Structure 1
Amino acid sequence: MDDKLLAMYKELTETPGAPGHEGKVRDVMRKYVEAYADEITTDNLGSLIARKGNQGPKIMVAGHLDEVGFMITMITEKGFLKFQPLGGWWEQVMLAQRVAIQTRTGVIEGVIGSVPPHILSPEARKKPVDMKDMFIDIGASSKQEAEEFGVRPGDTVVPICPFTVMNNPKFMMAKAWDNRVGIAMAIQTLQQLKEVNHPNTVFGVGTVQEEVGLRGAQTSVHAVDPDIAFAVDVGIAGDTPGVKEQDAQSKIGEGPQLLLYDGSMIPHVGLRNLVIDTATELNIPFQYDTISRGGTDAGRLHLHGKGVPSIVIGIATRYIHSHAAILHRDDIDNAVKLITEVIKRLDAATVEKIKRQEY
């Protein structure tokens, strides 16, 4: 396995970047993409835009920089931290998990706690603990001591989970695969096109604040004004015990996901057909999937201007929106190959056919 790729995956996933606080992740993306880009700019919210080429249709490949996290809202008199979510969390995956508070003076580690189950009534023990009843313990004995540590309201919090290559080295575990894998795919797509004379201009974009409302997608698509857009993100893996196939049919390691429907967008049929034709021609494995609730940056990308034909290419991932997620290396490689090959086919004539609903 390529040590340089592993180093990039490790740095991308371990770097903190809650919504609205993506600066450190943006710096990592810039470091890895600058060798493949002709120009790197940002929009006014902080989304990074790496351009390769300067002629032909504009193709946007967008992953989001942010990860689900929390924000400190208050410090109690006894030095415990109250917080609110940044992005969607399920309370049952939060308790007793280690977290890292990003303060202005450095990182402070803590753990999410609540009232011990031993002193709850039998009825209360049967119910999930509400997030409002949780707190973060950083080992402070008072509000004053917590403040002396450097904590203040507004500081963000991210999970602690070292990047881990598992015993089967194709399986990789980390926090923030949602959506540092999309950032990695945008970088790798530009890398694959480095010495290629493609018939278009390609933009690898790291958007901000996706987890709290697709906000960076709206501003960055305005800055790029693309003709075609790909959102690259994670998707639900349905290959763990207890998951019914009709609820989540994708399996990790069996190819990237081609989203047919989500709560924010119906992918453009012509672009979808081109992706399917390309994958079939080149024997690139892929899987179909749908998401009844939720969406991706494509939900904003496709509504820009007169409309941007858009599609989502996803990576089936276990345990997203938790402290530790697992995905498969082959799915990343095949997704990058598929996106790259489709981009090579997106000349002006093909793009116009897609826009006119003729593909």
Structure 2
Amino acid sequence: MIDEIDSLLEKLSNANSASGSENEVREIVKEEISEYVDKTKRDDFGNLICTKKGKENAPELMLAAHMDEIGLMVKHIQDDGYIRAIKLGGWFDQTLLNQRVVIHTEEGSHFGVIGCKPPHLMRDKDGEEIVKQEEMFIDVGAEDAEEAREMGIEEGNSITMDREYKKLNNNLVTGKSFDNRVGVACMILALKEIDTEATIHAVGTTQEEVGLKGAKVSTFNVDPDLGLALDVCLAGDQPDIEDKESSIELEKGPAFTVADRSGRGIITPKKVLDLLKKSAKKEDVSYQLDVMKGGTTDATAISLSRSGIPSGVLSIPTRNVHTPVEVVSLNDMKKGIKVLSRVLEEASDWV
């Protein structure tokens, strides 16, 4: 299964789908999953709802894996042809500087590089400060604004990072947009494995990184009995992170969220957490429990839909989250898929 996970994750990671522009990933999900579900539907908000029908009156479970990645958007084209942009999602500004990017237009894609004033020309105190994203520009090689517009570049174009998926040692891989193509891959591959009496709604959600928007809309439409977000979580097994900040590690299996955003996000109901734990134990898979001070997932939006829906999160530990060089273990993904498959089967008895 590792080879299958590797191949699918590479395909998803290399695709470009910033928040609000999820078309490329949505088409991959539809292509990969259609054979294993009874119906696929794109709603008016861009979510892809894939339904595998169960027995009549059986419980209905919603899986949510967001298809969007953090990116940028063209805000302004200067007279000299340089591009100014805004952030879409939670970037740490210093990770953006000197990145190569792709600007997506109606006519096609164009490469650019993010720059700022060279340190050689900065005053001493300026060189000691972090450059803010608002002070950065994108160089696409245009001589002036007219040429940039002739290239098809205009305000509102989405921008993604120009990074390719690569393998590291020990079944670790790196790439962009693992948040959340990892969750999307787990959802697709679990759907290929399961045999359950429950009805499963596998939803590729949109605009998670800018407000959990797609999950809010799609959950209201699906109205499930149980919700489960598939996402990534912060791994703390790297230099300068103490256990008290994050004890989550790669190679120790999937993580189940107990609470995130200090409880302002989701506080997972005991019954849902017990289902996740029981499923992991039945598959003889080690798991980790994640209590987060910050961050949240689609599970928060699902849990607050209609009159309230019991919800949880199955996530895969990831290093360097919200950068173009995220790192994940294919072994953890394999374990996560095994647990997820068991959860879908156990959901037949959810009441």
Under TM normalisation by the shorter chain, which class is it? over 0.9
Aligned residues of 2:5 and 2:334 also touching (Cα < 8 A): no
> Which residue is equivalent to 2:350?
351
> Which residue is equivalent to 1:333?
334
| Structure-to-structure mapping, 1:202-213, within 5 angstroms | 202-213=200-211
2:279, 2:67 → 1: CA distance? 28
Q: Specify the code of the residue in structure 1 equivalent to 2:70.
A: V
| Structure-to-structure mapping, 1:14-29, within 5 angstroms | 14-29=14-29
Aligned residues of 2:66 and 2:205 also touching (Cα < 8 A): yes
1:287, 1:124 → 2: CA distance? 43
Q: CA deviation at 1:281?
A: 3.5
1:80, 1:244 → 2: CA distance? 41
Q: CA deviation at 1:4?
A: 4.3
User: What are structure 2's unaligned runs of at least 5 residues?
Assistant: none
Stretch moving more, 6-15 or 323-332: 6-15
> Which residue is equivalent to 1:357?
none
1:305, 1:267 → 2: CA distance? 17
Q: Tell me whether 1:30 sits opposite 2:30 in the alignment.
A: yes
- Partner of 1:260: helix, strand, or coil? strand
Query: Pick from 249, 264, 274: which aligns with 1:251?
Result: 249
Pairwise CA RMSD: 1.2
1:298-326 Cα shifts (integer Å, max 9, x gaps): 11001112211110111111111111111
Query: Pick from 217, 239, 246: which aligns with 1:219?
Result: 217
Q: Tell me whether 1:310 sits opposite 2:308 in the alignment.
A: no
2:301, 2:3 → 1: CA distance? 35
Q: Percent identity?
A: 33
Q: Specify the code of the residue in structure 2 equivalent to 1:266.
A: I
1:138-179 Cα shifts (integer Å, max 9, x gaps): 1111111111121111001001111112233x1111110000
Q: Specify the code of the residue in structure 1 equivalent to 2:314.
A: I
1:246, 1:126 → 2: CA distance? 30
- Partner of 1:288: helix, strand, or coil? strand
1:190, 1:278 → 2: CA distance? 16
1:9-33 Cα shifts (integer Å, max 9, x gaps): 1221111101111011100110100
> Which residue is equivalent to 1:300?
301
- Partner of 1:346: helix, strand, or coil? helix
Q: CA deviation at 1:277?
A: 2.2
2:212, 2:202 → 1: CA distance? 17
- Partner of 1:314: helix, strand, or coil? strand
1:6, 1:236 → 2: CA distance? 21
1:329, 1:3 → 2: CA distance? 9
| Structure-to-structure mapping, 1:259-278, within 5 angstroms | 259-263=257-261, 264-278=265-279
> Which residue is equivalent to 2:172?
171
Aligned residues of 2:54 and 2:197 also touching (Cα < 8 A): no
> Which residue is equivalent to 2:146?
144
Aligned residues of 1:43 and 1:223 also touching (Cα < 8 A): no
Q: Specify the code of the residue in structure 2 equivalent to 1:294.
A: G
Stretch moving more, 269-278 or 91-100: 269-278
With normalisation by structure 1, the TM-score equals 0.94
Aligned residues of 1:80 and 1:143 also touching (Cα < 8 A): yes
User: What are structure 1's unaligned runs of at least 5 residues?
Assistant: 353-359
Q: CA deviation at 1:2?
A: 5.2
1:288, 1:54 → 2: CA distance? 30
With normalisation by structure 2, the TM-score equals 0.96
